[in-house]
Amino acid sequence: MNLRKYLVLAGVSVFAPLGDSFLAYGMKQVGNISLRNIPDLLLAIANPWVGIGIIFLLGFFASYMTALSWADLTYVLPASSLGYVLLALIARFALHEQISLTRWFGIALVSTGVGFVTSGPELTGRPPQHLANDGTVATEHS
C-alpha cells in the first residue's frame, strides 16, 4: 500500500456518505413515489440536491473502480466504511450534534473492523492481470 492507494480509499470513504446525504435530502423534497408511478424515479434526478448527490456518487464510483483494480472486494468494502465514522465526527465536532453512547459504540466497532482488514493484505487469490507490451492482457501465474 502506498499514499496513492490510501488516497483512493479515502475518496471511496468520503464521496459515498456525502452523496447519500444529498440524495436523501433531495428525495425528501421529491416526496413519496408509489410502485404504480415508478417512471417518476427517472424525473427525480431533475432535483438539484439529487443532482449534487449523483455528482458525489460519480466521484465515489471512479475511486471505487480504481480501488477494485488492485484490491479484493472484501478489503475495499470494510476499509472504505470509515466514511460513516467521518460523518459522525463531522456531526459531533463541526455541527455540534449530540452523539449517543450507542453511536460511539458503533463508531468503535466500525473502526475496529477497518483496523482488522487494513492490517492484512489487500489482494488474495488470483494475481491481477497486466497489459503486455502489445496491448493484450497477460495473466501472471505463480
Partner 1 sequence: MIRHAISNLNGWLAILAIVLSSSAGDVLLSRGMKQIGDLGELRRRRSVTFVVLRILRNRYFLLGVACMAVSFYSLLFGLSWNEVSLIGPAAASLTFVANAFAAKMFLHEHVGRRRWAAALFVAAGVVLMAL
Residues contributing to the site for partner 1 (CB under 8 A) = 4-5, 20-21, 23-24, 27-28, 30-33, 35, 38, 41, 44, 50, 57, 61, 64-66, 68-70, 72-78, 81, 84, 88, 100, 102-103, 105-114, 116-117, 119-120, 124-126, 128-131, 135, 137
SS3 33: coil
User: Is the four-CA dihedral 88, 93, 96, 98 of positive or negative sign?
Assistant: positive
Cα 63 to Cα 7: distance, rounded to the nearest angstrom? 9
Phi then psi dihedrals of residue 131, to 5 deg: -75, 130
Q: How far is the CB of 41 from partner 1 (least distance, A)?
A: 5
The smaller minimum CB distance to partner 1, of residues 96 and 119, is found at: 119
Q: How far is the CB of 29 from partner 1 (least distance, A)?
A: 11
Instruction: Check: CB of residue 61 under 8 Å from CB of residue 24.
Output: no
The smaller minimum CB distance to partner 1, of residues 96 and 140, is found at: 140
